[in-house]
Amino acid sequence: MTNAVLDHLNNVADNQSKKLSIIYHSILEHAVTSQYANLKINFDADFQNRSNLNRFINYNTHPTVDFKNFVCSFNGGPHVSRILLVAILEKFKYFNPDYCSKNFVFLAEKLDGHIRDYVGDQDNFYRKFFIANNSAEFFNSIYSFGHVRFNHAKNIYNLENKLVESFLHIVSETMATSYVPFVTEKFLYSVVTRGLFLSYAQPGWHAHVEKYYGFKRYTKLFDYQFDTIQNPVERLVELMSMISKFSILTIDDWKDLYLLEQETIEYNYDHYFSGSYLTKLKQAT
């Protein structure tokens, strides 16, 4: 619940016997702000909206939802959490190169080290969910859809068909190995295409998005117990285990399940395009 930049600023303020005012674009709960007696950390909802949320406000027509694939997931930079995510997607045989991207390469030894960092002497157990005997070729391959970093207005058109043709979008959130919810535009790719999504993000991320942003969870289908698990490797394995039961179903089954959440899907879609999400977010200011 600490941050190197805030640590430094807190020390500067302490040395000068004064308080510093910080404007931040994400909501930091008391567990974080209480660490910094010399900082007044202010959340700015409009700053967050400009930084992340209003990227798709003019995107109001999407292709028809027509399932052909189980999971889509889009992975840009090679952060630890993305290395973990693409590896487990491949091991579970959910990484379809027509619907999943991986814009980086890495060595099995690097992945192995990351797993050990988080689970210690349980690494021989958890490694089984991430690394297969033939994984090296996948780890050393690039799968890309012409991703342009930060150009979400363009990227949505590159990805829209992959989104509407997939039963579930596994959102690869920024730095999912952190411990404080950090919300970017990534989940909105599914909201604006009327899709189902789950995020590999920080613990408590889904509850945080519902509480402060007002987007509802798909509780008729998904068990969000994984969202409460602190350890990022354990959380990811729990997420994948939870969704695995859906992988054996037929396309018609996926369509029926999708309809069970139709009301929530429409609510989230309208919540975004009406601007209600920003009204809700400003209540946290």
My answer on whether 187 and 274 are in the same domain is yes
pLDDT digits (tens, 9 = 90+) for 204-254: 999 999 999 999 999 999 999 999 999 999 999 999 999 999 999 999 999
Q: Regarding beta strands 20-24 and 39-43, do their DSSP bridges make them parallel or antiparallel, or are they unpaired?
A: parallel
* Confidence class for position 82, pLDDT limits 50, 70, 90: very high
My answer on whether 184 and 108 are in the same domain is yes
Mean predicted lDDT score pLDDT of the chain: 95
- Report pLDDT for 150: 59
My answer on whether 31 and 146 are in the same domain is no
My answer on whether 75 and 34 are in the same domain is no
pLDDT digits (tens, 9 = 90+) for 123-154: 999 999 999 989 999 999 999 986 666 566 67
pLDDT at residue 29 greater than cutoff 70: yes
My answer on whether 39 and 136 are in the same domain is no
My answer on whether 153 and 198 are in the same domain is yes
Number of domains in the chain: 2
Residues above pLDDT 90, as percent of the chain: 93
Give the start-end residues of each E strand in the chain.
20-24, 39-43, 69-72, 166-172, 197-200
Which letter does DSSP use for residue 228 in this model?
G
- Report pLDDT for 90: 98
My answer on whether 104 and 216 are in the same domain is yes
In sequence order, the β-bridge partners of residue 43 are 24
- Residue 260's domain comprises 53-282
How far lies 210's CA from each of 216, 217, 246, 260, in Å? 5, 7, 24, 19
Structure-block tokens of residue 196? 């189902």
CB-based contact 276:45 (threshold 8 Å): no
Does residue 254 belong to any structural domain of this protein? yes
Mean pLDDT of 37-65: 95
My answer on whether 92 and 233 are in the same domain is yes
Does residue 152 belong to any structural domain of this protein? yes
My answer on whether 222 and 252 are in the same domain is yes
Does residue 167 belong to any structural domain of this protein? yes
Does residue 158 belong to any structural domain of this protein? yes
Does residue 214 belong to any structural domain of this protein? yes
Does residue 48 belong to any structural domain of this protein? no
pLDDT digits (tens, 9 = 90+) for 146-164: 666 656 667 899 999 999 9
My answer on whether 67 and 36 are in the same domain is no
- Report pLDDT for 149: 62
Lowest-pLDDT range, 61-70, 82-91, 122-131, 137-146? 137-146
Mean pLDDT of 92-104: 97
Q: What are phi and psi of 80, to 5 degrees?
A: -50, -45
In this structure, how many other beta carbons lie within 10 angstroms of the beta carbon of residue 280? Answer: 17
My answer on whether 172 and 192 are in the same domain is yes
My answer on whether 23 and 122 are in the same domain is no
- Report pLDDT for 147: 61
- Report pLDDT for 255: 98
Does residue 180 belong to any structural domain of this protein? yes
Does residue 273 belong to any structural domain of this protein? yes
